[in-house]
Amino acid sequence: MHLARFHAEPSVFVAPGRVNLIGEHTDYAEGFVMPVAINFATLAGISPRTDGKIVIYSENFGEEKTFDAASLPAKGSKDWSDYPVGVAVILAGEGNKIPGFSLSLWGDVPLGSGLSSSAALEVATMLAVTSLIGVTYPGPVLARLCQRVENEFVGANCGIMDQFISANGKKDHALLLDCRDLSFRLAPIPANVALVIANTMVKHSVAGGDYPTRRRESEAACAVIASHRQNVPFLRDATLEDLEKWGSEMAPKSLMRARHVISEDLRTVAASEALLKGDMAEVGRLMAEAHTSYSKDFEGSCVEADTMVELAQDIPGLIGARLTGGGFGGCTINLVEQSQAPAFAKTLAERYTAKTGIVPEIHICHASDGAHQLK
Ligand code: GLA
């Protein structure tokens, strides 16, 4: 496709989407998350140009956009091209000279479903452009640059989780990330456990209203604690006892948001310990608790996602189920015994359609490697 359109053989890079097993809305509070890179990904093919233009073709949108490498826009324009152009802009801001190039993009991460299609797009483009200009960034640095594309160019106030796992994931493993210093630990996912991802078909968006509102509410709780106690710049540094002491000074919603974030950090670290020990029952129990906290205290779920989690409970093979990602729609993650996964997926889909009238997309996925060059 790239060759036919641009008459040049591309170098090709791939970056995966992700599913988060546990640790929701903790990343921007410098806490813990435990995502997995999945076998849905974005491919980016790149070749140099001599006319100083950046020409980007998206196979998914069937559209081509052209920019001048010497005068890139300062801000995004609410278009799919914001993600690849933002990569060039952030790299230029880091002092790199950005040459002209042709970039073709294709992906199968479902859009707007909370599986980080945008992070996959940023990371694939980042690898492609840095390789073209001959710069190499370590995985964690590359992830930070991609997060800055979202924060500074696209205008979405997300944390580091999605870009980090897309850049640094490992096949057959979950990654426990400390979002403060970006140190991480890999925990194997047992071979007899499947990741069953169930799309509620309710669209999710990070830039949209609710994500930033929740973030602000939880940060307001942190500010109350910080007014009493030193060294609490983020909820990562707060405890449940702090909420008992000073919760009455917080807006009730802020208190609830903070209770979710603080308890979620504890659950996420505990879940990684359990996964390392192969104690899947405990991982499942913590996922169930995490869903309740996300739904009730953080109010980050929606009727459809709660229904999808509820309907999974007594299907044979279930280890744990919860809404994954930024919330208000998107997908649930179900850890399921591998041998039962196809029957589980079928039953869940039937039940969900019967209950909601919506036909869900259900995928049996596996943990995949982070971004790399294909050819
Ligand atoms: C989205 C954001 C992440 C993270 C999650 C919630 O995926 O991009 O940074 O905040 O929501 O855990």
pLDDT tens string 140-188: 999 999 999 999 999 999 999 999 999 999 999 999 999 999 999 999 9
Residue nearest to atom 8 of ligand 1 (CA): 158
- Calculate how far, in angstroms, residue 158's C-alpha sits from the geometric centre of ligand 1: 6
**Average pLDDT, whole number, for the chain?**
97
Residue nearest to atom 9 of ligand 1 (CA): 159
Rounded CA separation 372/342 (Å): 30
Rounded CA separation 192/339 (Å): 7
> Which phi and psi (to 5°) does residue 38 adopt?
-115, 170
Query: Where does residue 27 rank: exposed (0-12), middle (13-18), buried (19+ CB within 10 A)?
Result: buried
Mean pLDDT calculated for residue range 116-136:
98
Mean pLDDT calculated for residue range 281-294:
98
DSSP codes joined into one string, 81-123: THHHHHHHHHHHHTT-----EEEEEEE-SPTTSSS-HHHHHHH
Alpha carbon separation from 91 to 49, 127, 145, 234 (Å, rounded): 18, 11, 8, 28
Residue reference for tokens 């129990």: 285
Looking at residue 248, its amino acid is: S
Is the pLDDT at 35 greater than 90, yes or no? yes
Q: Which atom of ligand 1 is nearest to the CA of 26?
A: 12
- Calculate how far, in angstroms, residue 341's C-alpha sits from the geometric centre of ligand 1: 27
Q: Is 214 in the pocket of ligand 1 (CB under 6 A)?
A: no
Q: Which atom of ligand 1 is nearest to the CA of 28?
A: 10
Instruction: Give the orientation angle of helix 139-148 with respect to helix 117-133, to 10 degrees.
Output: 120
Q: What is the pLDDT of residues 202-215, one digit of tens each?
A: 987 776 679 999 99
Question: Can you give the pLDDT at residue 209?
Answer: 77
Residue reference for tokens 């906290």: 293
- 8-state DSSP, 297: I
Q: Is 31 in the pocket of ligand 1 (CB under 6 A)?
A: no
Q: What is the pLDDT of residues 292-323, one digit of tens each?
A: 999 999 999 999 999 999 999 999 999 999 99
Which residues lie below 8 Å from residue 146, measured CB to CB, with a gap of 6+? 87, 119, 122, 123, 126, 163, 166, 167
Return the closest-CA partner of residue 223 out of 32, 24, 29. Answer: 29
**108 included as an active-site residue:** no
Q: Is 325 in the pocket of ligand 1 (CB under 6 A)?
A: yes
Question: Can you give the pLDDT at residue 207?
Answer: 64
Q: Is 158 in the pocket of ligand 1 (CB under 6 A)?
A: yes
Q: What is the pLDDT of residues 41-93, one digit of tens each?
A: 999 999 999 999 999 999 999 999 999 999 999 999 999 999 999 999 999 99
Instruction: Confirm whether pTM is higher than 0.95.
Output: yes
- Residues across the chain: 375
Which residues lie below 8 Å from residue 338, measured CB to CB, with a gap of 6+? 191, 192, 193, 194
Q: Is 29 in the pocket of ligand 1 (CB under 6 A)?
A: no
- Calculate how far, in angstroms, residue 138's C-alpha sits from the geometric centre of ligand 1: 22
Q: Is 179 in the pocket of ligand 1 (CB under 6 A)?
A: no
Q: What is the pLDDT of residues 252-264, one digit of tens each?
A: 999 999 999 999 9
Of the pLDDT bands very low, low, confident and very high (cuts 50, 70, 90), residue 375 is: confident
Q: Spot the catalytic one: 27, 68, 82, 162.
A: 162
